[in-house]
């Protein structure tokens, strides 16, 4: 018996196998970081001509002229940030409401039916959303919603101008629909993770269903919900295809949601195949770099936000 | 004297399993009644039927009557939310709201009644915390998180939260099973004081505890009520051999 133990403890093959396994795992893990670093390096390298030529002007410049060789990305930055923020603003209450309905309000059978349907929305390719947006939603906006807005709320700067259909508003709606599934499904998981004891605590005090949501679910789940919203924002800001199809692709900064706009991913997708000069390609690369940086900033801010909200409580973390 | 609380022919099913069978019990006002029995005998299930907590479990079906001051709480016209404001509950594991301060935890249930002014809230928080002998330990840190308290303090905080709602009946589901002996002793002393104002029903698997804190004891086995009597009698001279076997530790 003791012989067998001592053999096993000095078995070279076991120790060697472990070392090899460790090496493979380490290589796989570090390759992810390596790929990210290479990508950033390449993007910076390719953007250098544009960075050197325009410097800070690139960020605040509004001229985008491939013929004159003058590039400024502010209009795209504005389009991306505005469309994503508005989409998040609209999608968050809808998604949280849907998640609450699925987990705590609807009869279990109904919830079990709705949840996969909502998740199915996430599986639809974005080009389909875009196609639907441009063929169905945009005409509908142009014929009914936008004229109504112009007529009744036209005194606000947000609803002025001619209704084109394809517009910032169309992009916001498409993005909203596209990020609802991800926010809903993560929020649903977060809500399901709230311990039953927390819900019972509220009910036992004589809470109604809404009061239970307020006392138990929201405080316990808020950091997770915030995480879900950030993921949605990340998806919205990077979304290319559907937005490109409905936003109108006109570089401009307009307060009116009826006016067309342009986003960073859209300009890259539209112009990359037909760049006219080295500088043009480099400018597009710099737009990509800005997009990357904006996404990183959003993520860092989200982490800080979640950290500051959850400090001191032991609720679920994202 | 009319009982404060009365169970009549209570039957509880979960799907196809019959968890509680024809249980009838009476709880006089301002007494402590212990429900004992081995694991799975249905004692917690009975307790949770008294404030309609089973309403939250879709597969549960409760039949029979539960009378609070002679009114059936399972009547169609009765709102379970109103029932739970009159019949509070303390759970096995202390469950304070983690994101709230000690103060906010105590007042959380009371605030559900509507808007209250600050001085009333201060009074209720103080009196409730004093009621559970927690005031002196926490009065300097009412604004700090409830999660900073020890397990026993958290459980007393949960009792304070229940007391603050000013219920008539307090249900306790093994309130000491996660606590050390000293914290347990404190809760037991507290239960003895609580009965001056409330009718207390406590489920416990600790027979010494039942003997120490209760006036009446009900012994449940496999979903049936085997024996119900004055605690002293149950523990010294039970009428049923199964009761005797259980309290002497021959099974369970």
DSSP A277: S
**pLDDT bucket at A315, cuts 50 / 70 / 90:** very low
Verify that A281 and A242 share a domain, yes or no: yes
Q: Are A118 and A185 in contact (CB under 8 A)?
A: yes
Verify that A122 and A241 share a domain, yes or no: yes
pLDDT digits (tens, 9 = 90+) for A77-131: 999 999 999 999 999 999 999 999 999 888 888 989 999 999 898 899 999 999 9
Q: Is residue A318 part of a domain?
A: no
**What is the predicted pLDDT for the residue at A11?**
63
Domains of chain A: total: 2
- Least Cα distance to B203 among B21, B82, B42 occurs for B42
Verify that A133 and A197 share a domain, yes or no: yes
Q: Domain span at residue A25?
A: 2-54
CATH number of the domain within which A174 lies: 1.10.3720.10
The mean of the pLDDT values for chain B is 92
Q: Which residue, A31, A54, A77, sits at the end of a domain?
A: A54
> Does B5-247 carry CATH code 3.40.50.300?
yes
The residues near A190 (Cβ < 8 Å, ≥ 6 apart) are: A99, A221, A224, A225, A227, A228, A316, A318
Q: Is residue A316 part of a domain?
A: no
Measure Cα distances from A235 to A37, A243, A269 in Å: 21, 12, 16
Verify that A213 and A108 share a domain, yes or no: yes
The residues near A271 (Cβ < 8 Å, ≥ 6 apart) are: A66, A280, A284
Verify that A283 and A208 share a domain, yes or no: yes
Would the CB atoms of B109 and A219 count as touching at under 8 Å? Answer: no
Verify that A198 and A299 share a domain, yes or no: yes
Checking if the pLDDT of B111 tops 70, the result is yes
Mean pLDDT of A20-26: 94
CA angle A85, A90, A92 (to 5 degrees): 90
CA atoms within 13 A on the CB side of A280: 16
Verify that A230 and A304 share a domain, yes or no: yes
What residues in chain B have their Cβ under 8 A from chain A's Cβ atoms? 51, 53, 56, 58, 81-82, 84-85, 88-89, 91, 93, 95-100, 108-109, 112, 145, 147, 158, 161-162, 165
**pLDDT bucket at B62, cuts 50 / 70 / 90:** very high
Verify that A40 and A89 share a domain, yes or no: no
> Secondary structure of chain A: what % helix, strand, coil (to 5)?
80, 0, 20
**What is the predicted pLDDT for the residue at A142?**
93
Whether A109 and chain B come into contact, CB under 8 Å, resolves to: no
- DSSP letters for A59-117: HH---EETTTTEE--HHHHHHHHHHHHHHHHHHHHHHHHHHHIIIIIS-HHHHHHHHHH
Q: Where are the domains of chain B?
A: 5-247
Would the CB atoms of B99 and A107 count as touching at under 8 Å? Answer: no
Would the CB atoms of B98 and A313 count as touching at under 8 Å? Answer: yes
Checking if the pLDDT of B99 tops 80, the result is yes
**pLDDT bucket at A317, cuts 50 / 70 / 90:** very low
Q: Which ipTM did the prediction report?
A: 0.91
Mean pLDDT of A313-318: 40
B249 class by beta-carbon count within 10 Å (0-12 exposed, 13-18 middle, 19+ buried): exposed
- Least Cα distance to A199 among A184, A183, A218, A186 occurs for A218
Q: Is residue A170 part of a domain?
A: yes
Number of CB pairs, chain A paired with chain B, less than 8 A apart:
73
**pLDDT bucket at A298, cuts 50 / 70 / 90:** confident
């Amino acid at each position: 018996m003791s012989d067998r133990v001592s053999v096993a403890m000095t078995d070279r093959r076991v120790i060697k196998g472990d070392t090899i396994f460790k090496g493979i795992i380490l290589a796989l893990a570090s390759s992810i970081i390596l790929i990210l670093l290479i990508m950033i390096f390449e993007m910076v390298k390719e953007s250098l001509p544009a960075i050197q030529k325009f410097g800070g002007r690139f960020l605040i410049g509004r001229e985008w002229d491939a013929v004159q060789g003058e590039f400024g990305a502010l209009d795209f930055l504005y389009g991306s940030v505005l469309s994503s923020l508005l989409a998040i603003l609209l999608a968050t209450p809808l998604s949280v409401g849907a998640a609450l309905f699925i987990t705590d309000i609807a009869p279990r059978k109904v919830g079990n039916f709705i949840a996969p349907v909502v998740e199915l929305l996430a599986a639809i390719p974005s080009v389909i959303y875009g196609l639907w947006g441009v063929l169905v939603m945009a005409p509908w906006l142009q014929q009914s919603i936008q004229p109504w807005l112009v007529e009744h709320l036209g005194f606000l700067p947000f609803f002025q101008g001619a209704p084109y259909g394809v517009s910032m508003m169309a992009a916001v709606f498409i993005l909203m629909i596209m990020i609802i599934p991800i926010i809903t499904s993560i929020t649903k998981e977060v809500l399901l993770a709230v311990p039953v004891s927390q819900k019972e605590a509220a009910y036992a005090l004589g809470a109604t269903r809404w009061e239970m949501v307020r006392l138990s679910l929201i405080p316990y789940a808020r950091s997770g919900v915030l995480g879900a919203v950030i993921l949605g924002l990340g998806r919205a800001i990077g979304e290319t295809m559907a937005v490109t199809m409905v936003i109108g692709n006109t570089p401009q900064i307009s307060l009116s949601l009826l006016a067309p706009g342009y986003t960073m991913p859209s300009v890259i997708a539209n112009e990359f195949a037909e760049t006219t000069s080295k500088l043009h390609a480099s400018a597009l690369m710099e737009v990509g770099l800005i997009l990357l940086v904006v996404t990183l900033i959003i993520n860092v801010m989200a982490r800080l936000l979640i950290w500051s909200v959850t400090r001191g409580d032991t609720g679920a973390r994202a | 004297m009319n009982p404060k609380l009365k169970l009549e022919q209570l039957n509880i099913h979960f799907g196809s399993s019959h968890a509680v069978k024809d249980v009838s019990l009476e709880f006089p006002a301002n007494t402590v009644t212990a429900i004992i029995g081995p694991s799975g005998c249905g004692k917690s299930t009975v307790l949770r039927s008294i404030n309609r907590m089973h309403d939250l479990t879709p597969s549960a079906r409760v039949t029979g009557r539960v009378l609070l001051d002679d009114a059936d709480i399972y009547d169609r016209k009765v709102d379970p939310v109103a029932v739970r404001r009159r019949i509070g509950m303390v759970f096995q594991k202390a469950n304070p709201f983690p994101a709230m301060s000690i103060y906010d935890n105590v007042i959380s249930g009371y605030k559900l009644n509507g808007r209250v002014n600050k001085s009333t809230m201060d009074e209720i928080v103080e009196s409730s915390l004093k009621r559970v002998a927690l005031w002196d330990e926490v009065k300097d840190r009412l604004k700090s998180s409830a999660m900073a308290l020890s397990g026993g303090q958290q459980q007393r905080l949960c009792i304070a939260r229940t007391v603050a709602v000013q219920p008539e009946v307090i249900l306790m589901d093994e309130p000491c099973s996660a606590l050390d002996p000293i914290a347990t002793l404190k809760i037991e002393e507290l239960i003895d004081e609580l009965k001056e104002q409330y009718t207390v029903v406590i489920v416990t698997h600790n027979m010494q505890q039942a003997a120490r804190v209760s006036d009446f004891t009900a012994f449940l086995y496999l979903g049936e009520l085997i024996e119900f009597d004055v605690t002293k009698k149950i523990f010294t001279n039970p009428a049923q051999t199964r009761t005797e076997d259980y309290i002497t530790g021959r099974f369970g």
